[in-house]
Amino acid sequence: MVDGPRAAREGYCVLDTEERDYLVGVVGCGPGFDTILEIVAGEEFREFLPPMRLAGVAGLAPDDPRRGEPLLAGVPLYPSPEELFAANPGINLVVELQSGCDCRALAASLPPGASLIDSTASFFLCALSNAVSVGAHCRRRLDHQKLLLEAIVDEVQEDIALVSAAGKVVDLNRNIVARLGKPKESLLGRPCEELQSGPDDPPFCDPGDPQSPFSMALATGVKAERLQTAMAVDGRLRYFRTYAYPIRNAVGRVGHVVVFRRDITDRTQGEISARQAERIETVGRLSSYLAHEIRNPLFAASGFARRLSAMSDLPEAAREKAGIVVEELARMEALLTQFLEFARPVGGTVEGKAEVDRAAREAVDAVSAEADTRRVGLVMDIAPELPPVALDPALLKQCLVNLLRNALESLPHGGLVALAADRVEERVRLRVTDSGRGVTRENLENMFSPFYKGDQCEYGLGLAMVKKVVDDFGGSVEAVGQPDGGCAITLFLPPVLAGATH
């Protein structure tokens, strides 16, 4: 017996905590007989009732067809209750199902300590049987729906987790288990921060960050999302979009949050590449227009400036100023030439095949003087017997020169630049790496955009031209940050097949 507020709070009854088995005797075979046999023998009732064993049945007629039922197999049958009680003095529960039974007389003949459930009270046992049957049916349907939902969620190749409002993992799908390489059971109940693979993996769930999708969904009760980026171990930039969906409980409060994270690296890189290609095309058209509009007056001005600087009757100071004009106009001519080269279409219009070894050596020779001035060492590693690539030799050399000069510019205090070439599957790979200060995520995204100026770096048309040329010839370009600092830019070029021409 429990007194006070605790008793008021308990809205349920508790079975006797002592372990006790009931030896049951059934008297009569009236309505509910089959149900009583099922309750005594059925394992599905053990969740609600203590263990029971059928000692025997009294009052079942000799010609009653129910004598052959499986539930009565091996159960002793007696003509009268007295014979049942005499043969089983340990009976402690009797269920009476007789019509017109004198319950007082039956109760007087019970074994010592036995309890009696008459036909009226047995109605509640029958109601319990119906409730258990309905519950079992609902449970089977729920189990089926649960298995179906788990199968669907596990087949989703993204990270999905159910997280409590306290930030604990309630459930998660197979994709997270495979990514972390841990048993699912070891992750359940753990803080959701532990679903992060490592330092190069963005937080999957961060309750400590009020701006995280989990925290926003928990606080506002509406869906939240965020784009996240991370630098992988191999130096590649990865993109993720994380969604958080609040789950309300019966009283309308957010009790759980479903966190869904999708790796959108391929899609995002495709979008970035498309934007860069659009910018390159725009700059190319603008460059072509400006170059042709400026070329004639620029050449005329340059010619007059050279004549002035060569006139002997001009004062020395005037000739010096004319020389400065000539130098500046020459610089503008060089920039104009670069614009024209950038605007010139290449893919499909320039034929040829380039020898990788020769183009690499010529490119290194072209920048060796600048490298010596900057105190930068140049290293070259070209695999033997590489096939020629489907690219104009002059364009391949210029692409490599642009990559090497970009690497040199990242080493104002000296360092090392390496040019390597080998074959990967069906492509020839050329890679330029440097030992510079590294590259930020933003710079990594935009380094092939024309005239991009970022943190501690500025890109003109050199890298943009490399991407334009390589893309036009069916190749691809990839830039990654190095784990120990520096940057690596790789060209993947199609080889020229034997006996084929470009």
In which band, very low, low, confident or very high, does the pLDDT at 385 lie, cut at 50, 70 and 90? confident
One domain, residues 366 and 486? yes
Whether residue 312 sits in one domain with residue 206: no
Q: What is the pLDDT of residues 194-252, one digit of tens each?
A: 888 776 778 888 888 899 999 999 999 999 998 887 766 666 678 888 999 999 988 88
- Alpha helix positions (H), 188-264: 213-220
| Predicted confidence (pLDDT) at residue 452 exceeds the cutoff of 70 | no
3-state DSSP assignment of residue 86: helix
What pLDDT is recorded for position 459? 59
pLDDT at 456: 52
CA proximity to 329, closest of 349, 353, 304: 304
User: 353: which 2 tokens?
Assistant: 């095949």
Answer yes or no: are the C-beta atoms of 400 and 367 closer than 8 Å: no
Please report whether residue 10 resides in a domain.
Answer: no
Q: Region 457-474: what's the mean pLDDT?
A: 75
Residue 173: inside a domain, yes or no? yes
pLDDT category at 165 given cuts 50, 70, 90 is: very high
Q: Are 379 and 486 members of one domain?
A: yes
Per-residue pLDDT tens digits for 413-431: 889 999 999 998 888 999 9
Same domain, 474 and 363: yes
Co-location of 68 and 160 in the same domain: no
pLDDT at 499: 41
CATH code at position 243: 3.30.450.20
pLDDT recorded at residue 7: 42
Predicted pLDDT of residue 437: 76
pLDDT single digits (tens) 54-64:
999 998 888 88
Residues 29 and 105 both lie in one domain = yes
Neighbouring CB atoms inside 10 A of 61's CB total: 11
Cβ atoms of 137 and 144 closer than 8 Å: no
Asked if the structure places residue 76 within a domain, the reply is yes
Bridge partners of 114, per DSSP, are none
The pTM is what? 0.48
- Judged against a pLDDT cut of 80, whether residue 79 lies above it is answered with yes
Mean pLDDT calculated for residue range 243-263:
90
The pLDDT of residue 12 is above 60: no
Q: What share of the chain in percent tops pLDDT 70?
A: 83
- Taken as a whole, the chain contains a residue count of 502
- 69-73, 229-233, 264-268, 354-358 — which is least confidently predicted? 229-233
Minimum mean pLDDT range among 290-294, 322-326, 357-361:
290-294
In a domain, 136, yes or no: no
Judge whether 137 lies within some domain: no
CATH number at residue 75: 3.40.50.720
**Residue 452's domain is classified under what CATH number?**
3.30.565.10
For residue 501, what are the CA distances in angstroms to 399, 494, 496? 21, 12, 7
Query: Looking at the structure, do residues 489 and 363 belong to the same domain, yes or no?
Result: yes
Per residue in 276-323, pLDDT tens? 667 666 666 666 666 667 777 777 787 777 787 778 777 878 878 878
Domain shared by 410 and 473, yes or no: yes
**Residues 22, 93: contact at Cβ < 8 Å?**
yes
Beta bridge partners of 478: 490
Domain assignment present for 21: yes
The CATH number for 274's domain is 1.10.287
Q: Which parts of 258-355 fold into alpha helices (H)?
A: 265-310, 316-343
* 15-24, 32-41, 374-383: least confidently modelled range: 15-24
Domain final residue, candidates 237, 263, 289: 263
Residue 450 is assigned to a structural domain of this protein: yes
Whether 488 and 380 share a structural domain: yes
| Final residue before a domain boundary, out of 226, 243, 263 | 263
Please say if the pLDDT value at position 478 is more than 50: yes
β-pairing, 237-248 vs 254-263, is: antiparallel
Residue 3's pLDDT band (boundaries 50, 70, 90)? very low
Do 43 and 101 belong to one domain? yes
Count how many domains the chain has. Answer: 4
Q: Are residues 318 and 419 in the same domain?
A: no
Structure confidence at residue 332 as a pLDDT band (50, 70, 90) = confident
User: Tokens 């995002």 map to which residue?
Assistant: 268
Q: Does residue 251 share a domain with residue 193?
A: yes
- Is 292 within a domain? yes
Q: What percent of the chain clears pLDDT 90, i.e. is strictly above it?
A: 24
Cα 386 to Cα 239: distance, rounded to the nearest angstrom: 34
pLDDT at 287: 63
What the block records as the tokens of 341 is 């080269």
pLDDT band for 352, please (50, 70, 90 cuts).
Answer: low
| Position 71 pLDDT exceeds 80 | yes
Range(s) of the domain holding residue 74: 16-130
Among 130, 146, 171, residue at a domain's last position: 130
